[in-house]
Every structure is written in structure tokens, then in C-alpha cells.
Amino acid sequence: MPLGTWLKAGTSATALVLAMAGAATAATVPAGESSAAQAAAVTLHYDDSRASGWEAAIAAGVASWNASVSNVRLVEAAPGTVAEIVIVATTGWPQATLGPVRPGRQVRVELGSQAVDQGYNKTRIIAHELGHSLGLPDTKPGPCSQLMSGSSAGTACTNATPNATERSRVQSTYASASAAARAADGRTLIDAA
């Protein structure tokens, strides 16, 4: 067979393989989300091994953030590995290091029982403190619809879902590679009433 025929056959086969690979990749991407957006998501690991009694609230708070934003994913760290977000239970008031935390860096979240003793909702507390780790400051005073209003929304407030503005700020913070270079602020925000 002449060389030209071999090249045409090889080119056609390569094009077919690439087209099939693209179709297979497209089939694995959830509706409404591009493969580029999935690839760009920052994965942050959390360690809650020192937050006994808060497990259900932590799972719910993490699920709330993971359902609300796509540029960052919170995943439980495997035992014995280093996590970016260290969550501990304390007897004081809830507090957290102001982020945004980045892979390889570390922030601390303290889930204080003092707030629970005063009637505040555990899931709202953890979702709020994770918001600090993701770079959101307090918005006090504020309504219950603002997750970052924290304790100023009162003890009856159980909303643990970030509002559109809060989601947008986190999405923007974790949107680009240049943003990924910014480290955590390092300030500790104490969420006392």
C-alpha cells in the first residue's frame, strides 16, 4: 500500500479515537457543569477527629457547602494525613481562622459548646465557621438568610445554607489559578454574640 494511503488511514483512525474519547469525557460530566469547571475545583481536606459530638453537624455543614459551590470541594481527610481545615470541639465560643485556605496551608475551626449551651444550632455554627475558612468575614448584624450573620440572627435561626452573595464570593475566591496562590488571612474570628 502506498505511503499516502497509510497516512490517510492513520489520520482517520486517530480522529475517530479522539472523537470517541471526547464523547466519553462529555458523558461523565454532570449536567450544567463543564469538565473545565470540574478540573478547576480546589479540594480541601478537613480533619474532625477532635470534634466528638459534632459529627452529624459537620457532615451537614460540609454537605451544605459542597451543594452550594463548585469551585471548591470539602472532603474528609484520611486518618493520619494532613488536612487544610482542622476542626476541634472546645468549651469556649466558636471561632475560626479567616481564609481563604489553600491546599497545603492550614486553618483551624473551633466549635465551641458555649454557643450550643446558649441555644445556637450546631449545623449553622459549623457551616458559618467553614465560611470563614473559605474566606468570608462576618456580616453582623444580619438576617437569618445570611449564613455569615452568625449569632446576630438569634438562636431561632437554623439556616446553614450560604445565600447567593456568599456563594458568589466563595466561587470568585476559588475561581482562578492566581487566586489559588493567595494564602489564608491568618486572623482568628471569634463569633461571640
Active site residues per annotation: 129
* Contact (Cβ atoms closer than 8 angstroms) between residue 128 and residue 190: no
Rounded Cα distance, 76 and 54, in Å:
14
Within 10 Å of residue 66's Cβ, how many Cβ atoms? 13
| DSSP letter (8 states) at residue 123 | H
**Spatial separation of the C-alpha atoms in residues 110 and 63, rounded to whole Å:** 19
d(CA 169, CA 4): 56
Residue of 134, 136, 158 lying closest to 145 (CA atoms): 158
Give the number of other CB atoms < 10 A from CB of residue 105: 16
Rounded to whole angstroms, how far apart are CA atoms 86 and 84? 6
Q: At what angle do helices 164-173 and 55-68 cross, to 10 degrees?
A: 80
**Rounded CA separation 107/168 (Å):** 21
